[in-house]
A and B are shown apart, each in its own frame.
Chain A
Amino acid sequence: MLGFIFKRVLAAIPVLFLVILITFVLVRLAPGGPFDEERNVPPQVLENLNKRYHLDDPIHVQFFDYLGNLLQGDFGPSYKYPNRSVTEIISSGVPVTMELGFYALIFAVFAGSLAGIFAALKPNSWRDYTPMSIAMIGICVPSFVMGPILVLIFGIWLNWLPVAGWGYAAYDKIIPTITLGATYAAYVARLTRGGMLEVLSQDYIRTARAKGLPEWKVILFHALRGGIAPVVAFLGPAAAGLLSGSFVVETIFQIPGIGRFFLQAAFNRDYTMILGTTVFFAGLIISFNLITDIVTVWLNPKLRKDAFEK
């Protein structure tokens, strides 16, 4: 098992290297530079700025300098926010994005599985169609539509919840959490319903019922374990998606997470910031895939055997 993990970690290194290389080249190919403003920067000033950030070095020198610094954990200074290092900005934004993603995931699993179970209990009745139609809408409505609608209803009309911000007004984390989690909740609902339907038709459920167990015990203790399995497999990609896809929600609600920086960095041609966030997200997605693989292998005895033998 350790050998398998080690191999997978080793395989991640060239992937990460390629991501850095491609991003490094692509951002420099994009027209415009970090110091372009409405008013042309006087040539002597531009020259000084390029010198300061070593942008006048040959590109391969810049690349290897960057790699060298990266290995020491230094992402370099941000061009857009000169008094902040990219490391500092990432570490200020990541906890916020993680928190948002975590709440959204909890919401997705909790609301989604409840709706799924509810729907699976009476398939093809209104109790199935109602939550499943809502779930379908949840999948179809993008967060940039969902967010403003929730704000309109709960923030403006009912005036129950704050409309923007993160952690400086009471309950201001609720609407963003729901906005981000809604799509995933909908997926979870559909997965749970499918899983539950399959499990509920199994013999052992009939046995449990035949023993005279109350229905809620059958559902919770016997059916749910198997029914929720597809959801567990979905959690890995969902977690990665929630973290890397939160920028829309962060922008709508003015949440100081990393997703917003990711987006702004591209518009600003903030080279170091683009690279920093890309490397960070690439690392994140690689690790999540790694964890999912490990868990899958660990859960499946056949794969586990292969992994040990290799």
Chain B
Amino acid sequence: MKFYFTFFAITLYILALGSCGKKDNDARLNENALHLSIGASPQSIDPHVVTGVPGIKVLAGLGESLVSLNLETQALEPGAATHWELSEDGLVYTFFLRQDALWSNGEPVSASDFVFAWQRGMTPSVGWQYATDFYFIDGAEAYHTGANQDPNSIGVKAVDDYTLKFKLVRPYPLFLKQLTSEIQIPLHKTSLEQHGKFDDVVSNWTNAGNFVSNGPFYLKTWEINKIIVLEKNPHYWDAQSVKLDKIYLYPIETEAAEERSFRSGQIQFAFGDRIPVDKIAVYREKNPENLKIINTFATYFYLLNVTKAPFDDVRVRQALAHAIDRKAIVTNITKAGEEIAVTLNPPAAGHHAHVKPLEYDVNLAKQLLAEAGFPNGENFPTVSLIYNTADVHRKVALAIQQMWKSNLGINVTLENQEWKVFLNTRQNLDFAIARAGSISSLGDPQDFLESFKSGHGMNNTGWGNSEYDKLMTEASATLNLDTRYQLLAQAENILLEEMPLIPLYYYANSYLIHEDVKGHTFNPLSRINYKDIYIDRTEK
């Protein structure tokens, strides 16, 4: 009997445990707060460690960069700097900082905080993955490679407390845009060094209570894999225009769980970039007001290994590219509002008008294949197509396998690999055809095209072209927008002619957002400006 009494007591205890959360939760949902999901758990919010999107989505609320991006117009606007000047030779940028900007601990934000952040990022032992992207800053390369040990040799200098100067080795058109990034924020030196050496990325300076930020919110709590809470930063210079009191960010890595959480009202905004494809149709029909589909600056494509036969022959590569019915893929398989990719860069990229699009032309494909010595696919070796394990990749691969079989008479075997194995195989050029995707965090064609320069870390094809490299180098030092776009278009035309990759479709992001959440501007870069967001429950 005792036995059962114990169980009875424990059951009551469980129910009691469940109910004690209720009050907290109701209170939480009635706050002036935003509840949103951000995809996987952020690995860090250290701007020199973060590489994934979830971490960026947290940093977006915490920091303020020198320049900010207007999400609606894509125009550059003042951020931590009120204005800036560029020298006539395009080499020296001078930023004038807000004199009323404060850290979340009340101390003033000064130019030296930005200098500190840059010196830390370029320090080799920090291992910042994007450091090499900033070698155009004077002295950055020498310091990062260890040729010069003096951090003050980097061309980022504080002229006085509120004036910051960047010296470049060559004009760089994307520099200001890069500065709008969520990771280009100043760092609070004293608080960082309180918890470890300045280059110690494993110290816990980014934990809640330790992390001092200069943006509209500060880090209140961070329970790993569970919840991140940001609270309004009372010291923020523009605190009166920050409308939310709190932001609850939930790391939810599975799309299905994210959608369920939204449907049950646990989150107001599913901001993990993708919701399950089968649910998109349901929302389209029943709750179209909650569903947002946004075309992005990201492309899905296949890489061809040009170092091995048969893809060392450009005609074979072209034949394969022309024999794919992309429309069928986006309408029957991906079904999330994607658009077919007939170039590498999405149409929103400014140079697009000058790029010659790919066509679905089976006859041309057959002719090219015949010219390469494989009429009707005869004698064509069986090649393998690898993709990382995911349902959508499998379905796309199956469809393309079928298209190549029926259009060209060639056989392709499919092979899925676990993500890290896949990356390894791809980087070692140990494949014939491999799935790939690329995203431009700046929304600029240069971002995509840069990846296919000879020897670039993402150019896993073995392809290289000196003319292409030359055009890219020229474009990356051209400040005039029209000229630059023309150069980039020329480069892209070479790429599409040479075809080391086969574009398939441009990604579309899908979000779910509650009617109460106002002020967010959906944009192709999937960026968020928490400052503008507010909750309006009056419509109910």
CA distance A33 to B205 in the complex (A): 26
Q: Which residue of A lies closest to B133 (CB)?
A: A42
Contact B224 A40 (CB under 8 A): no
Contact A31 B201 (CB under 8 A): no
Kindly list chain A residues whose C-beta atoms are within 8 Å of the C-beta of B129: 37, 39, 41-42, 45
Question: Is residue A17 within 8 Å, beta carbon to beta carbon, of the partner chain?
Answer: no
Q: Which residue of B lies closest to A80 (CB)?
A: B43
131-182 of chain A: CB within 8 A of chain B: 148, 151, 155-156, 159, 162-174, 177
CA distance A80 to B28 in the complex (A): 31
Kindly list chain B residues whose C-beta atoms are within 8 Å of the C-beta of A106: 7, 10-11, 14
Interface string of B245-281 (1 = CB under 8 A from A): 0000011111011001101101000000000000000
Contact of B261 (CB < 8 Å), options: A42, A48, A164, A174: A164
Known: A33-B420, A82-B201. A45 touches B14 (CB 8 A): no
Contact B144 A44 (CB under 8 A): yes
**How many of chain B's residues have a CB under 8 angstroms from any CB in A?**
69
172-228 of chain A: CB within 8 A of chain B: 172-174, 177, 220-221, 224, 228
The count of A-to-B residue pairs whose CB atoms sit within 8 angstroms is 175
CA distance A257 to B423 in the complex (A): 28
Contact of A173 (CB < 8 Å), options: B17, B227, B254, B460: B17
Contact B203 A32 (CB under 8 A): no
Contact A164 B132 (CB under 8 A): no
Question: Is residue B124 within 8 Å, beta carbon to beta carbon, of the partner chain?
Answer: yes
Kindly list chain B residues whose C-beta atoms are within 8 Å of the C-beta of A224: 3
Question: Is residue B145 within 8 Å, beta carbon to beta carbon, of the partner chain?
Answer: yes
Contact A221 B1 (CB under 8 A): yes
- Taking the nearest CB of chain A, how far is it from the CB of B207, in angstroms? 7
Question: Is residue A81 within 8 Å, beta carbon to beta carbon, of the partner chain?
Answer: yes
Kindly list chain B residues whose C-beta atoms are within 8 Å of the C-beta of A163: 257, 260-261, 263-264, 266
Question: Is residue B46 within 8 Å, beta carbon to beta carbon, of the partner chain?
Answer: yes
Question: Is residue B225 within 8 Å, beta carbon to beta carbon, of the partner chain?
Answer: yes
- Taking the nearest CB of chain B, how far is it from the CB of A265, in angstroms? 12
Contact A31 B127 (CB under 8 A): no
Known: A44-B144, A82-B44, A110-B11. A31 touches B18 (CB 8 A): no
CA distance A92 to B124 in the complex (A): 32
449-477 of chain B: CB within 8 A of chain A: 451, 457-458, 460
Contact A170 B19 (CB under 8 A): yes
Contact B224 A172 (CB under 8 A): no
Known: A81-B44, A163-B264. A254 touches B250 (CB 8 A): yes
Contact B49 A42 (CB under 8 A): no
Q: Which residue of A lies closest to B141 (CB)?
A: A44
CA distance A32 to B427 in the complex (A): 10
94-137 of chain A: CB within 8 A of chain B: 103, 106, 109-110
Kindly list chain B residues whose C-beta atoms are within 8 Å of the C-beta of A84: 204, 224
Known: A32-B423, A45-B127. A220 touches B1 (CB 8 A): yes
Q: Which residue of A lies closest to B437 (CB)?
A: A38
Kindly list chain A residues whose C-beta atoms are within 8 Å of the C-beta of B3: 224, 228
Show 21 residue pairs from A and B whose CB-CB distance is below 8 angstroms, ordered by the A residue: A39-B451, A42-B132, A49-B127, A51-B125, A82-B44, A83-B44, A83-B201, A83-B202, A89-B224, A155-B260, A162-B266, A163-B257, A163-B260, A164-B252, A168-B28, A171-B18, A171-B19, A171-B21, A173-B17, A267-B420, A269-B420
A residues with CB within 8 A of B? 30-33, 36-42, 44-45, 48-49, 51-52, 77, 80-85, 89, 92-93, 103, 106, 109-110, 148, 151, 155-156, 159, 162-174, 177, 220-221, 224, 228, 251-254, 256, 260-261, 267-269
New contact pairs (18) apart from A39-B129, A45-B127, A221-B1, CB-CB < 8 Å = A31-B420, A37-B51, A40-B460, A81-B41, A81-B44, A83-B204, A83-B206, A93-B225, A103-B14, A110-B11, A156-B260, A166-B226, A168-B24, A170-B19, A171-B18, A172-B18, A254-B254, A260-B225
